[in-house]
Amino acid sequence: MTQRALTALALLTLATPAFAQDTLNALVWCDHTDPALIAPFEEKYNVKVNLKEFEGTAAGLAILDQSQPGDWDVMVIDSVDVHRAVEAGKLAELPADKLPTADFFPELVMADNNTVDGKTYAVTEKFGYNTTSYDKTKVDPADMEDMAALTSGKYDGKIGIYDYYLPVLGLVALGQGINTADVNADTLPKLQEPLMALRKASKQVSDVVSSQTALATGDVDIIVGGGEWLTAVLAKDNPNLDWTIPKQGGLRWSQSIGVVAGTAKPDLALEFVQYIVSPEGQAALAQSSCYWGMPANQKAGDLLSAEAKAVLRWDQQPDYLKRSQLYPIPDAATDTAMQDMWTAMLNQ
């Protein structure tokens, strides 16, 4: 009887980790959960990095709202949303001189987005494009250069939409000749019809995995909002998958990383941020298992293999950067309106 009680007690204490090891709590997107990225940092500093994934900025801010100061140390966030987070008091200032932004692709320094009143709050870590991904053996690649082909009727039922309202609504705006910077309460209603038309022509609206599955199984031939991040990871097994930026343009996504305000470990958090933007961290992040993307730090190119660079289209980046626009940055009311429009579209 006592033996059983003792074993139970032992099991219980095992369950509640009381490691002497330091921990770092990170709110991240799924590409940060790759052990190839995290393990070198954990070994070097002898810490355990706790990772929690979240979907979009609204979800991330909601998590922070429900948490106490000190619960989280670092956070990944859409570069275009850094201002929102700073205004909500969620990010701590970063020492700009300690960040290697001089080595970045110039367009990706994004000082306007990452700084507020001259103070740096986040640093860009990865970027890529939301455009059109497709199976080049099933569709006519020439058609993919024009967004209008998607609603022309030729590909009805063969299209999948990536389930993230911001970039897809941005793409719809570009298709209507509206710049993403001009998407606001006045121009938003103009997107309603084209969005619904796109939905009618599509088979499904799905997240990363379901989109990949659908492309791989041939359930859809085109993904709107897809890009290299969707197809690169499948490239080896499925070389038919391709992507392009149509003539109306594409969206450029970029994610930044910052230190959460109120963290109990500001130094460790800063070390983590510095690791992520160092060439080694950048090379690992660019090829991490959830989705690939271009590293913000150009020096990472020295550590990437030739095949990886080919998949990422390293050499065509200057052209892509020119033809792509940033995500729309809606105010709170417009954001809610966009989400409502999206929900209505899902439930058509």
Partner 1 sequence: MSLASQERTLARGLVAPAVLWTLAFFVVPFLAMLALSFAHMEGRKIVQGFDPGNYLRAFGDWSQLKALINSVEITLTVTVISVLLAWPLAAIIAWRVPQRFQRLALLLAVLPFWTSYVVRSYSWLLVLGKNGVINQALMGLGIVAEPLALASTRTATVIGFVHFFVMLLTLTIYANLVQLSPNYARAAQDLGAGRWATFAHVILPLTLPGVITGAFVTFVLCIGDYITPQILGGNTELTLPQLIMLQMGRSGNFPMASALSVILMAVVSLAYAGCSRWLRLDRV
Partner 2 sequence: MRILSWVYLCLAYAFVFLPVVVLVVFSFQDGRLPVPPFHGFSLQWYEKILSDTGLMTALWHSALVAFISSALALVMGFLAAHALARVRLPGSVLLRGVLIAPMTVSYLIIALGLLTLFNQTGIKLSLWTAGIGHVVINLPLCFAMAYAAMGDHQKTAERAARDLGATEAQVLWLISAPMLAPALAAAFFLSVTFSWDEFIIAFLLTRFDVTLPVEIWSMLRSGLSPATNAVGSLVFLVSITAVVATEVFVLRRAK
CA-closest candidate to residue 28, choices 20, 16, 37, 19: 37
CB 297 to partner 1: min, Å: 31
Q: Which helix (H) or strand (E) holds 184?
A: none
Residue among 46 and 66 whose Cβ is closer to partner 1: 66
51 is an interface residue for partner 2 by CB under 8 A: yes
62 is an interface residue for partner 1 by CB under 8 A: yes
Query: Which listed range, 53-61, 225-233, 250-258, 265-273, lies at the site for partner 1 (CB under 8 A)?
Result: 53-61
Query: Which listed range, 47-55, 78-86, 114-122, 310-318, lies at the site for partner 2 (CB under 8 A)?
Result: 47-55
CB 70 to partner 2: min, Å: 11
**Which of the 8 DSSP states describes residue 339?**
H
**Which of the 8 DSSP states describes residue 152?**
S
Q: Which of partner 1, partner 2, none lies near 163, with the C-beta cut-off 5 to 8 A by kind?
A: partner 1
- Structural contact between residues 255 and 76, judged by C-beta atoms closer than 8 angstroms: yes
Q: Which residue has the tokens 């967004």?
A: 147
Residue among 75 and 326 whose Cβ is closer to partner 2: 75
Question: What is the length of the chain?
Answer: 348
Q: Which residues contact 193 (CB under 8 A, 6 or more apart)?
A: none
Tell me which of 21, 192, 289, 316 binds partner 2, using CB under 8 A: 289
CA 10 – CA 4 distance, rounded (Å): 10
CA 203 – CA 160 distance, rounded (Å): 6
Q: How far is CA 342 from the centre of its chain?
A: 19
Residue among 54 and 327 whose Cβ is closer to partner 1: 54
What DSSP string describes 63-90?
HHHTS-TTS--EEEEEGGGHHHHHHTT-
CB 60 to partner 2: min, Å: 14
Residue among 81 and 228 whose Cβ is closer to partner 1: 81
Contacts (CB under 8 A) with partner 2, residues 209-268: 209, 212-213, 216-217, 233-234, 236-238
Q: Angle at the Cα of 145 (from 143 to 146), degrees rounded to 5? A: 75
Beta strands in 8-114 (DSSP E): 22-28, 47-53, 74-78, 91-92
Handedness of CA 118, 120, 123, 127 (dihedral sign): negative
Tell me which of 208, 283, 296, 341 binds partner 2, using CB under 8 A: 208
7 is an interface residue for partner 2 by CB under 8 A: no
Catalog residues that contact partner 1 under the rule CB under 8 A: 54-56, 58-59, 61-62, 65, 88, 157, 163, 203-206, 210, 213-214, 217-219, 332, 336, 339-340, 343-344, 346-348
Note the residues at the interface with partner 2 (CB under 8 A): 11-12, 15, 17, 25, 30, 33, 35, 50-53, 66, 68, 71, 207-209, 212-213, 216-217, 233-234, 236-238, 289-291
